Amino acid sequence: MGTAVLATEPGSAPLPQGWLFLAERDDGRWTAALEGERAFAALARRAEARGAADGWGTYAAGGDFRTGMALPTTAGRSTYMTSGPHGWSGAAAPWSSLDFAGGDEAVRAARQGTAYTMCRGWIRVVHDRGYATDYYHLWNHIDADGAPVNTGTYLGDTGTDVTCGGSATGRHVHFALRQNGDYVGVAGHALGRWVFFNGGGAYQGHALIGSRQVGPGVALHHHGALGFTQGVIDTFGGTHLNKRTGPGTGHGLAGTVADGATVDIACSADGTSHTGRYGTTSLWNRLSDGTWVSDAYLWTGVNGPVNGWCQTARPDGLPGAAA
């Protein structure tokens, strides 16, 4: 495994392009392929089967936008999102990238994975589920050549390094999301429980946690990563969401949960239909405390159950599917 970089002129508008590659020697002949090429997936499968690589497989989002990632900053601290969704190299789509600065200026791995130094100032971390993340303009970055990292591992400091090309105005980290060897739009994905949305143009957009919306130039607090069976309460403009004793408004009240709170989902069932920020649904989720909330007022990254179906009765009297 190695890296290949197509550098640009420092100070120019285009940023460098970079790929990881895999190479295999068989019967004295070498076969090599770059990320995104069909041969790369085949080499990755063989490498994973031998235990020589992990997280290199090909996956499709398929409506599942869970990443398990945190913000690329220090847990418990606030950092400014200086630019909303934009392209890796400017305004061109896909808008895969975000810029962060401030706080303690430390840049950290958004999720566990394997880190590679693409060139000076640029680290890429390969994660599970086909994802990878890029971190550019770094100062004082680690020397990573297939090094394992955990969520929150220090990668370097925000900076203005453009050794491999491009430009940087003010110190920051240029963070980008990739899947299956290509940059993918960050909109619709969550980092550190913040969900990101495109704006009318590149570098605009906003981040959302519950009903709280912030745009570029506002600090984002690092709340930690959202688990694959967790959700964020989004009352679509309210302050609290009613919890129920069963999957529907016909069941009794069982307290409330605050907008923006993170909840653990035990299982799901059909219930009464409601409309929230992301559309209309009859799905209800049983929380870890035994209470129920409508999926219309949750962001989970999936349009459906995240932890299986409950062993419960549906509103039409039919038995629920097995968990």
Q: What are 10-26's pLDDT values in tens digits?
A: 999 999 999 998 888 88
261-295 pLDDT, tens per residue? Answer: 999 999 999 999 999 999 999 999 999 999 999 99
DSSP characters over 21-54: EEEEEETTEEEEEETTSHHHHHHHHHHHHTTS-S
* Distance linking the first and last C-alpha atoms of the chain: 40
Looking at residues 171-193, what average pLDDT do you find?
Answer: 95
At 62 the pLDDT is 65
Whether residue 111 contacts residue 54, with contact meaning beta carbons closer than 8 Å, is answered with no
Spell out the CATH class of 78-221.
mainly beta
Residue type present at position 104: D
Q: How far is CA 110 from the centre of its chain?
A: 8
At 65 the pLDDT is 93
Q: List the one residue out of 23, 5, 22 whose CA is nearest residue 14.
A: 5
Helix (H), strand (E) at residue 183: strand 182-183
Q: What share of the chain is helix, strand, coil (3-state, %, to 5)?
A: 5, 45, 50
At 48 the pLDDT is 66
Q: Cα–Cα distance between 249 and 247 in angstroms, integer?
A: 7
pLDDT at 183 over 80: yes
pLDDT at 298 over 90: yes
At 56 the pLDDT is 46
Looking at residues 127-156, what average pLDDT do you find?
Answer: 96
Question: Which residues does 198 contact at the CB level (< 8 Å), separation at least 6?
Answer: 84, 85, 95, 185, 187, 204, 205
Tell me the pLDDT of the chain averaged across its residues.
91
Residues above pLDDT 90, as percent of the chain: 80
Q: Which has the higher per-residue pLDDT, 319 or 156? A: 156
pLDDT at 310 over 70: yes
46 — pLDDT class (breaks 50, 70, 90):
confident
Angle 180-181-182 from CA coordinates, rounded to 5°: 100
CA distances (Å), origin 62, targets 136, 230, 256: 28, 19, 32
Looking at residues 106-117, what average pLDDT do you find?
Answer: 97
CA distances (Å), origin 281, targets 56, 70, 236, 276: 35, 28, 14, 8
Q: List the one residue out of 198, 168, 166, 178 whose CA is nearest residue 12.
A: 166
At 41 the pLDDT is 78
Give the predicted TM-score (pTM) of the model.
0.91
Question: Which residues does 28 contact at the CB level (< 8 Å), separation at least 6?
Answer: none
Looking at residues 40-69, what average pLDDT do you find?
Answer: 69
At 27 the pLDDT is 86
pLDDT at 142 over 60: yes
Bridge partners of residue 156, in order along the sequence? 107
Whether residue 149 contacts residue 159, with contact meaning beta carbons closer than 8 Å, is answered with no
Looking at residues 39-61, what average pLDDT do you find?
Answer: 62
| Domain map (residue ranges) of the chain | 78-221, 230-299
Q: Which CATH architecture has domain 230-299?
A: Roll (2.30)
At 321 the pLDDT is 36
At 162 the pLDDT is 97
Question: Which residues does 309 contact at the CB level (< 8 Å), separation at least 6?
Answer: 267, 268, 269, 320, 321, 322, 323
42 — pLDDT class (breaks 50, 70, 90):
confident
At 49 the pLDDT is 57
At 61 the pLDDT is 60
pLDDT at 176 over 70: yes
45 — pLDDT class (breaks 50, 70, 90):
confident
